[in-house]
Structure 1
């Protein structure tokens, strides 16, 4: 009886490991079959980027980084400073990411990560949030990847970000901050194993015509085809 139980546990663990391996292998393989691999007409013609954006990665999670103001959008009108404690007055950029509500709010540092929270995020069921920070240029260093965009591409990416907000409106989460320059907002959708912060980032880039893997559950699948660049 005990032997049979142990065999069942062993097979279950092997099955789980096989599924994890398949998940990682599929994501890694798709990196070599990117969407938008062919340069856009503007890039092929040597037309310089009209908007310089970035993807910022901490090794696990990715955010978009945009100039605060441009001809396309003034992000201060979308995410007003009154929602933040004390954003730097010399901020030039805004960082925007999407992720699991419980993980975002209860894991401000990696030291706060627990197996229960990680499993809860991956198993799904939690609502999502949008996380926004106003950043100085000096805060964009290692982990920044250049995303040169045309005005049309940038407008598509802006629309994609705004579509993550319920009714397109930014509703702040009262009292939710990591520091003085960030805020959290209600978001559409929910986080799970197949809908991660990085799949959200990658989907927006694909829709805007940026070369990126066809499935981006990990940070490297978002940044693989981008050029590391310090602003």
Structure 2
């Protein structure tokens, strides 16, 4: 009888834990939905001097900027020779920030490991910046153009730069890997830790805020951002 009572108590306790966990998950998604639909207003009308883009693959949001203009030359930070193609004719560069384990060890969802997922959710893992060169940037449902002023672009440059980890000489740290997504991308060591409350999309959303553009109050998902720019 005592064993049955203990088993029943254990099952009840486990049930409470499961219900509490499901409630927290539901609350997380509910808060994410509500706050991502609350927008931060853009700055008052400014000059439309430089075009930037937001780009998504259906999971991540990248911030896309010109490789070079009269405000900044990104080749001081990201090198063409760090890519497999080593091509030098790109006009745009997309920046994404995220969990290093996800970037380098999870090419598809089928490759996701419990250890990588746990570190990413809890902020215990390192982070990386994924930089991808593009010749053209066609606009579509997954890519939206935003025209900003030179001054606003300067702020965005500083925002992106601030997430790079630098060596003692002040240079970016290229991650040598075979886990590239294509022939025109490279990975770099980055500052900060990815977690449930600060994701790759949260970072991109913060970048839009940094340069005075319309953004979500908070969002961990890409669709929060792209809903605002439909």
TM-superposition CA deviations, 1:75-131 (whole Å, max 9, x none): 122201121111445422111100001111101233323444323311221111000
Partner of 2:183: 180
> What corresponds to 1:214 in structure 2?
217
Contact conserved, 1:147 with 1:226, CA < 8 A, in 2?
Answer: no
> Deviation string for 1:117-162 (max 9, x for gaps)?
3233112211110000101326765411222211111111110000
Map of 1:155 onto structure 2: 154
Superposition TM-score, scaled by structure 2 size: 0.88
User: For structure 2, which runs of at least 5 residues remain unmatched after alignment?
Assistant: 1-5
5+ residue gaps, structure 1: none
Distance in 1 (CA, whole Å) between partners of 2:163 and 2:182 is 23
8 Å contact 1:88–1:135 — kept in the other structure? Answer: no
Task: Let me know the Cα RMSD of the aligned residues.
Answer: 1.9
1:66 is paired with a residue whose SS is strand
Which residue matches 2:101? 102
Change (3 A) 1:197 1:5: same
Q: Which has the larger radius of gyration?
A: 2
Match of 2:69 in 1: 70
- The corresponding residue for 1:123 is 122
Count of aligned pairs between the two proteins? 221
| Residue aligned with 2:153, SS | helix
Aligned residue for 1:161, secondary structure, equals helix
CA distance in 2, matches of 1:27, 1:169: 36
Q: Tell me the equivalent position of 2:197.
A: 194
* Matched position secondary structure for 2:225: helix
The answer to whether the Cα contact below 8 Å between 1:162 and 1:169 also exists between their aligned partners in 2 is no
Counterpart contact for 1:87–1:181, Cα < 8 Å: yes
User: Which shows bigger deviation, 155-164 or 172-181?
Assistant: 172-181
Match of 2:45 in 1: 41
Match of 1:179, SS? coil
Query: Corresponding residue for 1:169?
Result: 171
The normalised TM-score by structure 1 is 0.88
Q: Per the alignment, do residues 147 and 138 of structure 1 end up closer, same or farther by CA in structure 2, a change over 3 Å counting?
A: closer
Shift of 1:181: 0.8
Show the counterpart of 1:84.
Answer: 83
